[in-house]
Structure 1
Amino acid sequence: MKSNLRRDLVKALALASVAGPTMMRTAFAQQDVVKVGILHSLTGTIALAEASVVDAEKLAIDEINAAGGVLGKKIVPVVEDGASDWPTFAEKARKLLGQDKVAAVFGCYTSASRKAVLPVFEQAKGLLYYPTYYEGQEQSPNILYTAHEATQQCVQGCNWLLENRGKTFYLIGSDYIWPRVTNKIARPTIVKGGGSVLGEEYMPLGSTSFGSTINKIKAVKPDIILSTIVGGSNVAFYKQLKAAGVNMKKTTVMAFAVSEEEVSGIGNENVQDVLTCMSYLQSLDNPANKKFVAAFKAKYGQKRVTGDTLACAYTAVYLWKMAVEKAKSFDVDKVIAASANLEFTGPEGLVRFHGTNHHLWKQARIGAFGADGQVNMIYESPLIEPNPFPTI
């Protein structure tokens, strides 16, 4: 009995002498990482547009890790589901910053979710990269905005429509911050350009019944339907618009919240000839975009498509990496300071952070959806300086 105990003890000590250094190396490796947060709606009505953004952010993280990480550290993402619910976004933001101690967060989609987390980031001195086109009217010291603001989309889109498609508009949107503020900018832009607004209507998020509104649109016969409907409601809206006999070639429909990614859920046949105004299109012919699209499809499936918010989210991760390396630090204040005038050539081409207002110089691109769900570009602007507080 004593002999067996002695033999077992010797064996255990021998194993410990081997395992000890290995365990220490593992512990060291675990410290040699930097955590970032990913905060998007993986469930709920906004998930149709938002869940896939996570895939783009993870792709960028994987690429950066494969190339050596950031300042020699491997990036480890902590993913949280905002569940299309604004208080949940705020709760998850507090967890990421307070409990997980992430260096930065890539997240949110709707302006309502961004507004919900904004005070959390400002109070905790965290850093959020926001990848979705939005209404502007904001400049937080703790948010870097990597999609276009209203003057880079709404003003550009309305002016192009006035010059090329007609003078009368009907505005329809989901009932929350982004559509309402966007249309407050659209109205004076339309009037200034010699046009008029024949109607304006908002539907609750998640709405699936648009028959009454479509009848009103058909009755007033606008030249242009300008849509700021978001998320799952777009599926119902475009199906019902088509079923009601609205001919997209005779009545121009421009969607400010539909990219190639949303079309994959709406159905190509339901949005053929609908116009979009985005900074990024999957069909862009440049080396960085070809690499991005090929890598995205290789990782997630050949039938998957990219879109504006995905490209902006992918770019955001690289912009964070570049700022960290420029600052030689993960410190939020130093990263923000290093971001001023930072340039990156990514899927949408060259973008550059403004020197002071935390937004990117970007291009506006207008095109029509084809039968394949891709966008045939009609117009491309030069780089547009961001102006989140326009005087119109």
Structure 2
Amino acid sequence: MRDKEHTGSPSLADGDAVSLQRRRLMQGMASLPIAGMAGMAGMAHGANIPTATANTTKLAVTDTEVTVGQLHSATGTMAISETGSIQAEQLAIDQINAAGGVLGRKIKVIKEDGASDWPTFAEKSKKLLVNDRVAAVFGCWTSASRKAVLPVFEKENGLLYYPTFYEGLEQSKNVIYTGQEATQQIIWGLDWAAKQKNAKSFFLIGSDYIWPRTSNKIARKHIENFQKNKVVGEEYYPLGHTNFNSLINKIKVAKPDCIYAIVVGGSNVAFYKQLKAAGITADKQFLLTISVTEDEVLGIGGENIAGFYAAMKYFQSLDNANNKKFVEAFKAKYGAKSVIGDVTQAGYLGPWLWKAAVEKAGSFDVDKVVAASPGLELKTAPEGYVKVDPNHHLWSKTRVGLAQLDGQFKVVAESPELIPPNPFPKGYQ
């Protein structure tokens, strides 16, 4: 087990403390000669801190280098979704290194392939933490992979930055969740569907593992108990499933106002192509998904999903200065045809939030980095302003995007305020 310290997290739950933290951060950023995340990378906080002081728990840190891990599915059915996260995390690391690194040390990355297999994720996480002694890991996509590695991170006192929207009902000292938890993504999207599309009956669909099942459980409770609407069907299929003909027949019989889809990974390609082939198209059927980003549309094809909707916090088409810089940098590195989805952007936030916490703590030690994380803010995130809650999730907005033929989403709705994370919502468990 990696050494643990008994450093308590700062008390930042009350508004005054958060406001004070925000003012201090903004004052510090105002003095920077360069705006944006690349500018933050130039902050030399703690560059002269001796390694013996900055690393008291025997992590892979030298006077010139700090080692981190990446743990995603580069192969298997989840590669279609996770490749973007691998790319975005590497882009952030490259930008940080180009501007001086973290505490004056360049970041070295050890990449491991979880291969869309949950026991493999657990095995690789142990290698990264025990053998490689990495200071942090950026990784996972599915909740199944996160659940597989969580006991390892908690036993070995590692630090995971997890980028995916997920079902909530979890909070770990050893995880920073840079994607949305379920109530942020699901509830606002369902309310938009009911109010703007007059949806009163819903057919819930998901891949057969914890995130879609738990998310649809929350969706059902909101639809039935809070909206007083109806669920007219609920079906699940294994990851990698490719034959949806029986499901399509059930949808045709049920005639829902809204298909609510949480199909994951490569199965999306078959699902949307078969919907179109069966005549279930956007001009006849309203569909809202929380699992399809621009990354998945690359495989699905814009012509097979155009006119359907997605609810999440980020779309590549977001019109703000931060996002324009991010998209330009991403395409410069990975090609003009590369795309950026919600989880890809959330993956990009991980190294920046880790850097900010390390430099605030003046240490790479996990307990100190964790204690420094609540209250951190990024005004330079591509999605816009975000902040880390004491429960280790991010405050963020939710948007609804309309799928276009070119594979992008047009933002048609946005929550007026940041939605606070609530991973343990009353009335939904």
Q: Say whether 1:185 aligns with 2:184.
A: no
Q: Distance in 1 between matches of 2:102 and 2:376?
A: 17
Q: Which runs of 5+ in 2 are unaligned?
A: 1-60
Deviating more after overlay: 154-163 vs 318-327: 154-163
Task: Tell me the equivalent position of 2:50.
Answer: none
Structure with a larger share of its residues in helix: 1
- Equivalent pairs, count: 363
- Residue identity in the other structure for 2:378: F
Task: Tell me the equivalent position of 2:418.
Answer: 383
- Residue identity in the other structure for 2:116: S
1:298-377 matches, within 5 Å, as 298-345=332-379, 346-354=381-389, 356-377=390-411
Q: Distance in 1 between matches of 2:213 and 2:402?
A: 24
Task: Tell me the equivalent position of 2:246.
Answer: 212
User: Is the Cα contact below 8 Å between 1:103 and 1:332 reproduced in 2?
Assistant: yes
Task: Tell me the equivalent position of 1:72.
Answer: 104
Shift of 1:31: 5.2
Shift of 1:208: 0.2
1:31-67: per-residue Cα shift (whole Å, max 9, x none)? Answer: 5100000000000111110122100000000000000
Q: Which residue of 151, 156, 179 maps to 2:188?
A: 156
Q: Secondary structure at the match of 2:353?
A: helix
Q: Distance in 2 between matches of 1:297 and 1:378?
A: 24
Shift of 1:30: 7.2
Task: Tell me the equivalent position of 2:144.
Answer: 112
User: Is the Cα contact below 8 Å between 1:61 and 1:75 reproduced in 2?
Assistant: yes
Q: Which residue of 223, 230, 240 maps to 2:264?
A: 230
- Residue identity in the other structure for 2:201: T
1:116-169: per-residue Cα shift (whole Å, max 9, x none)? Answer: 000000000000000000000000110010000001011111111111221000
Q: Which residue of 123, 128, 134 maps to 1:102?
A: 134
Identical aligned pairs, as a percentage? 60
Q: Distance in 1 between matches of 2:352 and 2:284?
A: 42
Q: Distance in 2 between matches of 1:260 and 1:52?
A: 10
Q: Distance in 2 between matches of 1:308 and 1:269?
A: 20
Q: TM-score, normalised by structure 2?
A: 0.84
Q: Secondary structure at the match of 2:250?
A: helix
Q: Secondary structure at the match of 2:348?
A: helix
Q: Secondary structure at the match of 1:349?
A: coil
1:356-390: per-residue Cα shift (whole Å, max 9, x none)? Answer: 20000010000111111111111101100000000
Q: Distance in 1 between matches of 2:377 and 2:274?
A: 43
Structure with bigger gyration radius: 1
1:191-248: per-residue Cα shift (whole Å, max 9, x none)? Answer: 1212100000000110000000001001111010000100000000000000000121
Q: Distance in 2 between matches of 1:102 and 1:187?
A: 41
Q: Secondary structure at the match of 2:168?
A: coil
Q: Say whether 1:128 aligns with 2:183.
A: no
Q: Secondary structure at the match of 2:66?
A: strand
User: Is the Cα contact below 8 Å between 1:162 and 1:190 reproduced in 2?
Assistant: no
Moved over 4 A (4+): none
Q: Secondary structure at the match of 2:173?
A: coil
1:252-307: per-residue Cα shift (whole Å, max 9, x none)? Answer: 11111101111111111011011001101101111111111000000010000111
- Residue identity in the other structure for 1:169: F
Q: Distance in 2 between matches of 1:194 and 1:251?
A: 21
- Residue identity in the other structure for 1:256: I
Q: Distance in 2 between matches of 1:128 and 1:30?
A: 21
Q: Secondary structure at the match of 1:170?
A: strand
- C-alpha root-mean-square deviation of aligned residues, in Å? 1.0
User: Is the Cα contact below 8 Å between 2:91 and 2:348 reproduced in 1?
Assistant: yes
Q: Distance in 2 between matches of 1:223 and 1:164?
A: 12
Q: Distance in 1 between matches of 2:289 and 2:190?
A: 11
Q: TM-score, normalised by structure 1?
A: 0.91
The structure, 1 or 2, with the larger RCO (C-alpha pairs under 8 Å, 6+ apart) is: 2
User: Is the Cα contact below 8 Å between 1:159 and 1:189 reproduced in 2?
Assistant: no
